[in-house]
Amino acid sequence: MSGSFRKRVAAIVTEYRHNSHAEVIVGRLLGGLGYRPRVEVVSLYTDQVPANDMSRDEAARRGIPICATIRDAIRADHCSEPIDGVVIIGEHGDYPVNEKEQMMYPRRRFLEETLAALDELDLAVPIFSDKHLACDYDDAVWMYEQMKARGIPFMGGSSIPHCDYVPNFEPQRLHSLREAIVISSGGLEGYGIHAMEVLQSLTERRKGGETGVSAIRLLRGTEAEVWAAMDRGEWPEDLMLQALRAIPGLPEAHPRELEPTPALFAIEYADGTKGWIVQFQRLVEQWSFAFRHDGERVTAALCDSDLDRPFAHFERLTRMIEAFIINGREPFPSERTLLTTGMICAAMDSLFVRKRVETPWLHMVYE
């Protein structure tokens, strides 16, 4: 597609600088990082402009206006035709952190102002919003319901669930999944949501579909608390070790010898399925998983994400975003994004109150 035949997109971002999500997604849609876009970014709103901002130079080079408000970016009055889609990147930037250690990105505000402008134009175009919906689950539910009420196709989440599995396996194995563990790294919320989405992209494919989550516990690794829980049989050591073996280049030693204080997310599904995330700070840089199925069989694989530029897993995500905007079809259930948002919010609640949190509001059913 080229010229006037390409779908027109408004981009709404927190900040646009080197290696930000705005650069590796919107930057690709602008033709950067060796990417050939199939849609056309026609307007750009940046909430913050850091010292290393790239947006002004990129916009000037592409002849795209930097808009003073989200409303202006959505209206795109300089275009002869209305926009066909919206890409929201509410990730990175200088924002406050709340008492639960959650970064308070303005994702609800971004969507609220986007919907208000679309309403003015009587438009209902596809919207992509990066990562989870909000740090507050009530906000997330509002966002989800507002888009559903308008008939707006929605795609959210991150790049990691869409990576290739190494080794690949037959999806039918997931139909009998009853236990799964995901290996993760980094910050509890910001990177934990990637692992939540990997976990949910696996568990939702079990026979009968998704029935929701009944309880969540997040243990921060202090004084070997996570390893003590493993020794008590509260989470499966064998699944963790098989998931770690899927990551190349790791030391041979047991991870408890290499990292004494990981974090552990424990997820109890309403149908009895169990999920865990073991989140390390230094041991790993990628995501992997292992799950038990067909009785005692175990399948393990790496989520093959890149560690260096140009981050090919973001190219795959960008291709998915483009296809979504062009055809208006959600590539996976939007309920996944709502559920994983609720899961990470409940996990941070659990950390704050230092106990297991029951989550009847997450008894969410979808295919």
Please indicate, yes or no, if residue 319 is contained in any of the structural domains: no
pLDDT mean over 110-120:
98
The tokens for 12 are 């709404």
Length of the chain equals 367
**Residue 162 per-residue DSSP state:** G
Same domain flag for 24 and 145: yes
Q: Does 292 reside within a domain?
A: yes
pLDDT tens-digit profile of 143-178? 999 999 999 999 999 999 999 999 999 999 999 999
The confidence band for 127, taking pLDDT boundaries of 50, 70 and 90, is very high
Q: What distance lies between CA 40 and its chain's CA centroid?
A: 24
Residue 199: which H helix or E strand, with range?
helix 192-203
Mean pLDDT of 77-103: 97
Q: Domain check: are 222 and 175 in the same one?
A: yes
Helix (H, G, I), strand (E, B), or coil: what is residue 150? helix
pLDDT given at position 221:
76
pLDDT interval class at 4 (50, 70, 90): low
**Domain end point (choices 157, 190, 224):** 157
When computed from its CA atoms, the radius of gyration of the chain, rounded to whole angstroms, is 21
State how beta strands 127-130 and 85-89 pair: parallel
Of the residues 116, 131, 157, the one at which a domain ends: 157
Query: 229 and 135, same structural domain?
Result: no
Residues 6+ apart with CB under 8 A from 350: 216, 217, 218, 356, 357
d(CA 47, CA 209): 39
Residue 198 lies in a domain: yes
Beta-strand ranges (E) seen in the chain are: 7-13, 39-46, 85-89, 127-130, 154-157, 165-166, 179-185, 213-219, 263-269, 274-280, 287-293, 297-303, 357-358
Q: What digits encode the pLDDT tens for the residues 210-224?
A: 999 999 999 997 767
**Which tens digits make up the pLDDT trace of 18-44?**
999 999 999 999 999 999 999 999 999
Q: How confident is the model at residue 2 (pLDDT cuts 50, 70, 90)?
A: very low
Same-domain pairing of 169 and 150: no
Answer whether residue 313 is part of any domain.
Answer: no
212 and 355 assigned to the same domain:
yes
Segments of 69-138 assigned E as strands: 85-89, 127-130
Residues 124 and 11 in one domain: yes
Q: Are residues 116 and 176 in the same domain?
A: no
Two tokens, residue 24: 């590796």
Write down which residue in 140, 157, 174 finishes a domain.
157
| 225 occurs within a structural domain | yes
Mean pLDDT rounded to a whole number for the chain? 96
Q: Are residues 296 and 272 part of one domain?
A: yes
> 116 — alpha (psi -120 to 50), left (phi > 0) or beta?
alpha
d(CA 11, CA 131): 15
Q: ω into residue 360 within 30 of 0, thus cis? A: no
Quote the domain boundaries for residue 228: 164-306+347-361
Q: What percent of the chain has pLDDT over 90?
A: 96
CATH code at position 211: 3.30.360
75 and 222, same domain (yes or no): no
Using alpha carbons, select from 85, 89, 124 the residue that is nearest to residue 106.
Answer: 89
Check whether 301 has a pLDDT greater than 50. Answer: yes
Looking at the fold, whether 285 and 232 belong to one and the same domain comes out as yes
Mean pLDDT of 60-81: 97
For the chain, report the end-to-end CA distance as a whole number of angstroms.
Answer: 33
Q: Is residue 311 part of a domain?
A: no
Q: What is the mean pLDDT of residues 96-123?
A: 98
Q: What is the pLDDT of residue 5?
A: 80
In a domain, 220, yes or no: yes
Query: Are 352 and 264 in a shared domain?
Result: yes
Place 367 in a pLDDT band, splitting at 50, 70 and 90: confident
Structure letter (DSSP) for residue 233: T
- The reported pLDDT for the residue numbered 222 is 76
238-273 tens-digit pLDDT: 999 999 999 999 999 999 999 989 999 999 999 999
Q: Angle at the Cα of 89 (from 119 to 145), degrees rounded to 5?
A: 45
230 is a domain residue: yes
The C-alpha atoms of residue 212 and residue 205 are separated, in whole angstroms, by: 12
70 with 43, same domain: the answer is yes
- The Cα 61–Cα 56 span in angstroms is 9
**347-356 pLDDT, tens per residue?**
999 999 999 9
CATH number, residue 53:
3.40.50.720
Number of compact structural domains in the chain: 2
